[in-house]
């Protein structure tokens, strides 16, 4: 079984992908069950943390790639010339 998993990456990929999706849904679902001890009002919104994680990650990468990178990227031997 494990042999075939290794030899067919797409199958492994699909299994991992599916598992991941399930995990995300489970986490969202658990939010309904667990009571959060909130300090800030915004924490109470449903899906606050997931949104935060997703948006922050997306924003950080996009800013890095499209804002910072064109400005500061140089050739590897820039300082040696």
Partner 1 sequence: MIASVVFPPALIFVFGALLTVLLRGRAMKTAALLVPVVGFALLWTTADGSYGHIPFMGLDLVLTRIDPLARIFGYIFQLITLLGLVFSLHHNQRSHYGVALLYAAAAQGVTFAGDLFSLFLFWEVLTVAATFLIAAAATERARGAALRYLLVHIAGGLCLLTGILLHYAASGSIAFNAIDWATPGTIFIFLGFGLNCAWPLLHTWLVDAYPEAPIAGTIFLSAFTTKSAVYVLARGFAGTEALIWVGVAMATFPIFYALLEDNLRRVLSYSLISQVGYMVVGIGIGTQMAINGAVCHAYAHILYKSLLFMAMGAVMYRTGSCKASELGGLRRTMPLTACFCLVGSAAISAVPLFSGFVTKSMIMDAVAHEHLQIVWLVLLAASAGTFLYAGIKIPYFAFFGRDSGLRPAEAPRHMLLAMAGAAFMCVLLGVYPDFLAGLMPYSLPLHPYTAAHVLTKSQLLCFAGLAFVLLRWLRLWPAVGAAVYLDVDWFYRRVARLFYGLADRLLNGINAGAEELLLHRALPRLVRFFEAPGGYLQIAGLRLLARFGLIGRELPRTEGMVECRSRSGTYPVGIGVLLAVLYLAVISLLFFT
* Residues binding partner 1 (CB under 8 A): 20, 23-24, 27-28, 30-31, 34-37, 39-40, 43, 49-54, 56-65, 68-69, 71-79
Residue 22 has which token pair? 């399930």
For the bound state, the minimum distance from the C-beta of residue 8 to partner 1, rounded and expressed in Å, comes to 15
Burial of 49 (0-12, 13-18, 19+ CB in 10 A): middle
CA dist., res. 78 & res. 81, Å (int)? 6
Is the CB of residue 6 less than 8 Å from the CB of residue 12? yes
Tell me the closest approach of the beta carbon of residue 33 to partner 1, in angstroms.
Answer: 9
Nearer to partner 1, 1 or 72 (CB): 72
> Between 1 and 75, whose beta carbon lies closer to partner 1?
75
- Least spacing, CB of residue 67 vs partner 1, in Å: 8
Which residue number, 1 or 34, has a Cβ lying nearer to partner 1?
A: 34
Dihedral (C-alpha) 10, 14, 20, 23: value to the nearest 10 degrees?
-160
């Amino acid at each position: 079984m494990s042999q075939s998993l290794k030899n067919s990456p797409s199958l492994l990929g699909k299994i991992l992908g599916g598992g991941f999706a399930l995990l995300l849904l489970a986490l969202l679902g658990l939010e309904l069950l667990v009571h959060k001890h909130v300090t800030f009002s915004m924490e109470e919104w449903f899906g606050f943390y997931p949104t935060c994680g997703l948006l922050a990650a997306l924003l950080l990468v996009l800013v890095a790639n499209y804002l910072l990178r064109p400005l500061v990227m140089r050739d590897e031997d820039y300082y040696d010339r």
